[in-house]
Structure 1
């Protein structure tokens, strides 16, 4: 009798747990809010909003309003040029009462003066050839491996560096790609979300990539370095280009790792 009661109790607990999980999944709804300047309460337009859990993106409109799908305990990441990026956890109260105000703090940034000097040509080929800057970033394509790797330097060892990065991936790449399957799956989600692609196209701070992939800025630079992208590309590319570069590197890493097995 006791054994029967125990089995029935276990089944009841399992049923309740399953029902709870279904209820939590069903709470994935559209939530709304407004983003304001903390100092003036003025609405902020074009603030980037990313759900770090489901990897969905949104942007605020002229009155600072946004809407995005989320569940309880999801984390929303707000970023805006000149303001401190913040993370906000979605709570039951947010789902219950609806519209919520998110306030962002403006950053004080002192920009140094940058002087751009044009190239002054003399008209003499021998002299001008030494004055004109040379950009030595090259990409080498290997058949069957996507669009190729950027060697970064026109040197005899450049191609060797590319092959070395592909066929002998360092432990760093293994630790990032091999031990972070959940974060790496988010790469594809980011590439498929038009809102996220649009916001990354105009960003150069790597903050959104860092937040979604749970990587530091130095980690992102090191991934690209190990995959033989040039220093110029790493420092000047926008965040969308960086996303595509990391994704390309990861896909080729998976192919080679599978072939190696």
Structure 2
């Protein structure tokens, strides 16, 4: 670590009046001095997007970020940004967080929640209007209140259908449907810890590759939302080419 002296100054009031002493704030800086991280040059795909890629539309993109993303999607972007931090080891909770981010983005930006709720409310009213047992009817309504929400599998299928050509051009539905099944099964086990479904969870190495896939997908969703074109978005999966190649060649 090293110490720097800040320009921020404050006065000590412990001294008698007229003898105040100016004291400068000390800033401690901690850094990793491992040469592995400071001598290796940055690669093109260490970054999703270079300034040159968006220079012509930079002002509009930044404006859309603060208008459309910073407030309404902050929890989702925080998930993505946190997942991009360098970590020495992989943890299964990272898979859950990124999966949750993709689900949340679909709910907020890719489905019309208002219409779904209205149709669902009307459907329940029609189906339950003749139910005589009011207590059971109330109990049932509480449990069906959010039944209009699509299952995680349906959300991922919708996203892959619309973004597969950016994520992995040429991939067939049969293959990405298998990926979705394995991701959802793994997510369900890690969330609910049902012993009967333990064998459906993929191994940690495969889960790591699926996490990379979801990171690429979430980045594409967010950056597409603020106006980046498909040509630029197609660069994002290259950051995770190792994991994507593993999935393409080994899980099909």
TM-score of Structure 1 vs Structure 2, range by shorter chain: under 0.3
Q: What TM-score, normalized by structure 1, do the two folds share?
A: 0.19
Higher relative contact order (CA 8 A, sep 6+): 2
Q: Hey, which of these two has a bigger chunk of helix by percent?
A: 2
The structure where strand makes up a greater share of residues is 1
